[in-house]
Amino acid sequence: MFTGIVAAIGRIAGAAPGGSRLRIDAGGLALDDVAVGDSISVNGVCLTVVARDRTAFEADVSRETLGRTAGFPVGARVNLEKALRLSDRLGGHLVSGHVDGVGKVARFEPVGDNRLLAIEAPAELARYIACKGSIAVNGVSLTVNAVSGAEFEVNLIPHTLEATNLRELRVGERVNLEADMVARYIERMRQFDIGD
């Protein structure tokens, strides 16, 4: 479980053939308290640490994960966050690290010091996105400001632009999306007749 508050920007330093094992340069993320078996969010994807040294860690990636995410190209800068501890502040929202789908950047425009980011979500994911609700984009907890069909807008403040890789986005780029988990549970409960 994560909060969507990015702790550091790392880089995909290497990948095994087919991308099944990644080596991730941790950037400014301290790894001294990370053990093999711990979870780290990498661009919103919960990955299990299988090896580490002082400056980098390795994680295995399944075909399922590669098929459901925007991928992990070598050299890409990635948002990193260690798993939430029960004693931590919940500054963002509860993020599982299980990507629901891949969106596409429709617009990325300056608005004063901020940036308006519009994303076209997959149709099957759009029903979970609500105005003033939460969404994770590449693992970053954001508030939805507007929704029109499958497209939604978020506002990126200067701090978010500085602390994450979202500032590097381009129109047409693919991004990992995770909807607020509460919306998914509500839909599942509605599928059953409570009177039974």
Q: What is the CATH number of the domain that holds 176?
A: 2.40.30.20
Number of domains in the chain: 2
Q: What is the pTM (predicted TM-score) of this model?
A: 0.92
Residues 113, 73 share a domain = no
Q: Is 89 helix (H, G, I), strand (E, B) or coil?
A: coil
Residues 114, 74 share a domain = no
- The candidate with the shortest Cα–Cα distance to 143, out of 184, 82, 103, 92, is 92
Structural domain includes residue 88: no
Structural domain includes residue 96: no
Residues 123, 76 share a domain = no
Structural domain includes residue 42: yes
Q: What is the pLDDT along the chain (196 residues), one digit of tens a residue?
A: 899 999 999 999 999 987 799 999 999 999 999 999 999 999 999 999 999 999 999 999 999 999 999 999 999 999 999 998 877 777 778 889 999 999 999 999 999 999 999 999 999 999 999 999 999 999 999 999 999 999 999 999 999 999 999 999 999 999 999 998 888 788 778 888 555 5
d(CA 184, CA 164): 26
First to last CA, the chain: 32
Residues 59, 128 share a domain = no
Residues 129, 56 share a domain = no
| Range(s) of the domain holding residue 23 | 8-82
- The candidate with the shortest Cα–Cα distance to 44, out of 186, 196, 194, 174, is 174
Structural domain includes residue 162: yes
